[in-house]
Amino acid sequence: MLEQALKAAAALPDGDPLAAASALRAAGFPPDLAATALTQVALRRKAVAKFGADASVMHFTRAGLEQATRGPVAARRAARLAAAGATSVADLGCGIGADTIAFARAGLRVHAVDASEETAATAAANVLALGLSQLVRVEPRDAASVPLDGVDAVFCDPARRTSGGRRVFDPRAYSPPWDFVVGLAARVPMTVLKLAPGIDHAMLPPGAEGEWVSVDGDVVEAAAWCGPLAAAPRRATLFQGPDVVSLTGSGVLAAPVGPVGNFVYDPDGAVIRSHLVAEFAATVDGTLADPTIAYVYTSTPAPTPFGRCYEVLDQLPVALKRLRTALRSLDVGALTILKRGSALDVEELRRALRLSGSRSAVIALTRVAGAPAVLLLSRVADPGGAAGR
């Protein structure tokens, strides 16, 4: 009867939830079943952004959907594991099964576990719904108790939230325990760890490749590729619509410092998190105006997928009254404010400026040679003739 309720709920317009609940009850579905079906359909509609067409048959919990790996990110990870020669993988902390599904579709046999019985049941339902049961075994189990002698690869996504749903920022408070997580590579060399984007580089296992991943400009995760999977010390991987690009490097180079140039690049967050600003600067022949600020300046624009490009029109006064006067003289009303290396609150500044002009503008609050600076910018959507982000 649940499937019938789901079909009926999916056929209703995505609008007034009270009207939808009344319609399902009028069709003969009990109130509890109607509520469950409507919740599931709402989650499926939201899940399309992560799972595409698969979302229409999958099962979700709110927390599980929020924490699930995006489909393209999981698929790329699975393909990389398969290309490295992996044939079977233990998915420790499988959640609702996003990575499990990707591993199976890449042809790997998967032993997936999650400490939550409800979550493991949801993952099992998704595996069944997508026709992958022949390659996947799912069970509710503590990750630390799983024998690993039957697999040649491990993927571990430790829980980064408390039982109350609060985010955990200290890896030593992850579940399973951090010592267990970082010790996996010693047991199974082909180990991949999914980590929070804010992970300290010093916490990564020795010799591991640290990868930071962004999707359409938002940094969504970090990963540690261990043992033979480590292809570079650091990697930034950017998913931009259908395209995927990567930048690699040591993560320890310092970019050259120079004056403010005619153009400035705001690097993608994955580039910054992976400590690859110097490597990025080299691709556009750029320099920093302050060694601690990740704005990259150039004399001419160059095509790149790794950062947004702006033309530097002017350097404005930092003092509020003088800045307000300068912007009003330009007839600015709508103001986009970028910030890096400034302690100013963007929204407080916006209110204090009290702009009401007819033109739009972009400014950057930053530092130049250690001193506060405000730059007037214009977005270059197609630097050097290449498509901008």
Specify the pLDDT at position 23.
Answer: 82
d(CA 17, CA 52): 23
Tell me the β-bridge partners of 218: 215
Specify the pLDDT at position 38.
Answer: 87
Specify the pLDDT at position 35.
Answer: 86
Tokens 């209703």 correspond to 12
Specify the pLDDT at position 159.
Answer: 79
* SS3 label, residue 7: helix
Specify the pLDDT at position 220.
Answer: 96
- Helices (H) and strands (E) in the chain — how many of each? 12, 16
pLDDT above 80 for 260: yes
Which of 172, 113, 118, 116 lies closest to 145, judged by CA? 113
Convert the pLDDT of each residue in 359-370 to its tens digit.
999 999 999 999
Binning pLDDT at 50, 70 and 90, where does residue 387 land? very low
Specify the pLDDT at position 176.
Answer: 86
Specify the pLDDT at position 389.
Answer: 35
Convert the pLDDT of each residue in 201-258 to its tens digit.
999 999 999 999 999 999 999 999 999 999 999 999 999 999 999 999 999 999 999 9
Maximum pairwise Cα distance, the chain: 72
Q: DSSP string spanning 185-222?
A: HHHSSSEEEEE-TT--GGGSPTTPEEEEEEETTEEEEE
Specify the pLDDT at position 162.
Answer: 60
Tallying the residues shown for the chain, one arrives at: 389
- Please give the average per-residue pLDDT across 334-340, as a whole number: 96
In the Cβ-directed half-sphere of 213, how many Cα atoms lie within 13 Å? 20
Convert the pLDDT of each residue in 140-149 to its tens digit.
999 999 999 9
Binning pLDDT at 50, 70 and 90, where does residue 297 land? very high
- Please give the average per-residue pLDDT across 356-384, as a whole number: 92
Convert the pLDDT of each residue in 6-18 to its tens digit.
888 888 877 677 7
d(CA 7, CA 51): 19
d(CA 152, CA 130): 24
- Please give the average per-residue pLDDT across 131-153, as a whole number: 95
In the Cβ-directed half-sphere of 71, how many Cα atoms lie within 13 Å? 13
d(CA 82, CA 115): 26
pLDDT above 70 for 164: no
Q: What b/e readout covers 19-49, taking b as 16+ CB neighbours within 10 angstroms?
A: ebbebbeeeebeeebbbbbbebbbbbeebee
**Joined tokens for residue 383:** 């630097």
Binning pLDDT at 50, 70 and 90, where does residue 134 land? very high
How many CB atoms sit inside 10 A of residue 280's CB?
24
Binning pLDDT at 50, 70 and 90, where does residue 2 land? confident
- Cβ 377 vs Cβ 297: under 8 Å: no
pLDDT above 70 for 54: yes
Specify the pLDDT at position 250.
Answer: 97
Q: DSSP string spanning 285-353?
A: T-EESSTTS--EEESS----SSEEEEEEEEEE-SSHHHHHHHHHHTTEEEEEEEESS----HHHHHHHH
Specify the pLDDT at position 384.
Answer: 61
Binning pLDDT at 50, 70 and 90, where does residue 351 land? very high
Adjacency order of strands within the sheet including 191-195: 136-140, 109-114, 88-92, 153-156, 191-195, 218-225, 209-215, 234-240, 243-249
pLDDT above 60 for 190: yes
Residue 67 CB contacts under 8 Å (≥ 6 apart), including other chains: 95, 161
**Joined tokens for residue 374:** 């405000």
d(CA 135, CA 7): 28
CA distances from 223 to 195, 230, 237, 256 (A): 5, 11, 11, 28
Residue 338 CB contacts under 8 Å (≥ 6 apart), including other chains: 266, 362, 363, 364, 365, 366, 377
pLDDT above 60 for 388: no
Convert the pLDDT of each residue in 311-330 to its tens digit.
999 999 999 999 999 999 99
Helix, strand, coil percent content, the chain, rounded in steps of 5: 35, 30, 35
Specify the pLDDT at position 143.
Answer: 94
Binning pLDDT at 50, 70 and 90, where does residue 163 land? low
- Please give the average per-residue pLDDT across 15-35, as a whole number: 80
Q: DSSP string spanning 58-97?
A: ----HHHHHHSPPHHHHHHHHHHHHHTT--EEEEET-TTS
